[in-house]
Amino acid sequence: MRNRVFRDRHGRGQRGVLLPPAVPAAVSRATAFHRLVAQTYLSLTEAYRDNVSGLAVAVDWIPRMRLNPDEVYFADTIVADGAVPIARLIPPSIDAQGNTVGAYIVVFRAPLVRRARDPQLLVELLEPVLAQLIATYLNLDERDILPDFQPWWN
């Protein structure tokens, strides 16, 4: 592969990266959301670290579930705002090859971001969602995880 040399056209300086990857402004919105979910999860599970060692957290853009539009009832393992799933707890299972798969929480980014007007509101929306699913996994009350638990969804 040949190294390309870019010309300095019209005296404006060399072309190149506007911001290096280490600069916070270079972080994508998806990466920032992933970090926010991880930080929130760690802060909520700090007291239960030994009990949640088998629980993982994942982020998906949209819910990839078969939904019946006529039925808006969801199990305790799904947090939904009306007919829109916000997050889901997937219990431990065995995959097609016979390997065990641990439990994990999937947070759906698009529904949460659409409901948040600013980053601080996003934290306020995310905390109770994760608290409910962690409490469901541990078979505890939500207020044991988040003392000021207030569900904002329907």
Mean pLDDT, the chain, rounded, equals 88
Number of Cβ within 10 Å of residue 25's Cβ equals 7
Sketch the domain layout of the chain as residue ranges: 24-65+72-145
Of 22-26, 134-138, 149-153, which one has max mean pLDDT? 134-138
Taking only the tens place, the pLDDT of each residue in 72-87 is 677 889 999 988 899 9
CATH code of domain 24-65+72-145: 3.30.2010.20
| pLDDT of res. 20 | 75
